[in-house]
Chains A and B, each alone.
Chain A
């Protein structure tokens, strides 16, 4: 993996991730989120996880983002008007987030393995779809089927929630 690609896609992911929470217009936020996820998918591919990168693009940039934009359209949201910011709450929230990041930074700094480069792979190309599939349908067969039931429950829940009047 080349350092240039790593830093380029990391910067893309982080800048557009920050744009998600800075933008006042929800549509701009949603579109920044797409770009951020595409950068993340590229980072997955620098880690030789091509299958995960592709489903990241399909599920997030494809399905989840359409859902977000659809809801924004349905609720007819505009850019929010400026409200008075509660400065104590704002400063407190920012401080909590920064302290959290500081702690994380210290923990990563103490991790011995964090300074080692990634070990090389045996083959230049990995067939990760096959390996993930074998694990998914072998070792993780029961969780896989439970996930299927979970999605069914989510589907039914969404239909019930979107009914006009609940009975």
Chain B
């Protein structure tokens, strides 16, 4: 029997993979993909909670799914803007390694 905890566990594992990607990788595009993984881990736990909270009519709680819809929309806009920033950065610096971009480093 699959419980709510199993879904939360898988979602936490996916978030940890994304978090580790942000911390460990030095390629800015991979870091960006890891951000997407973390956003989707949050979506998975929201949908699991939505299915868990069944109301008196026997329907899932759709407020969480509307929230997931908004998260997906914002994530899509974020990807578009972020990738444009990366392209502008590459034009200026000819690199996408975060270790080579250290002008602001103390």
Report the number of A-B residue pairs with Cβ-Cβ less than 8 Å.
228
**A67→B36 CA distance, assembly (Å):** 13
Find chain B residues with CB under 8 A from A64 CB: 36, 75-76, 79
Can you list, as one digit per residue, whether each of B85-102 has a CB less than 8 Å from chain A (1) or not (0)? 111101000001101000
Given contacts A40-B40, A75-B87, contact A136 B69 (CB under 8 A): yes
CA distance A6 to B77 in the complex (A): 30
Interface size class on chain A is 35 or more
A151 contact from B24, B58, B73, Cβ within 8 A: B73
User: How far is A51 from B20 in the complex, measured between Cα atoms in Å?
Assistant: 30
Mask: chain A, 137-152; 1 = CB below 8 Å from B; 0 = not: 0011001000100110
A18: chain B residues within 8 A (beta carbon):
17
Contact B37 A96 (CB under 8 A): no
Q: Which residues of chain B from 7 to 60 have any CB-CB distance to chain A below 8 Å in the complex?
A: 7-10, 12-21, 23-27, 29-30, 32-34, 36-37, 40, 43-44, 47-48, 50-52, 54, 57-60
Provide the residues of chain B in CB contact with A119, threshold 8 Å: 52, 54
A105:B9 contact, CB within 8 angstroms? yes
A13-52 contacts to B, CB under 8 A, are: 13-14, 17-18, 20-21, 26, 29-30, 33, 36-37, 40, 43-44, 47-49, 51-52
Shortest beta-carbon distance, A155 to chain B, in Å?
A: 8
CB-based contact A113/B4 at 8 Å: yes
Residues in A with CB closer than 8 Å to B34 are 20-21
Interface pair A75/B90, CB less than 8 Å apart: yes
Which residues of B approach A to under 8 Å, CB–CB? 1-10, 12-21, 23-27, 29-30, 32-34, 36-37, 40, 43-44, 47-48, 50-52, 54, 57-60, 62-63, 65-66, 68-70, 72-81, 83-88, 90, 96-97, 99
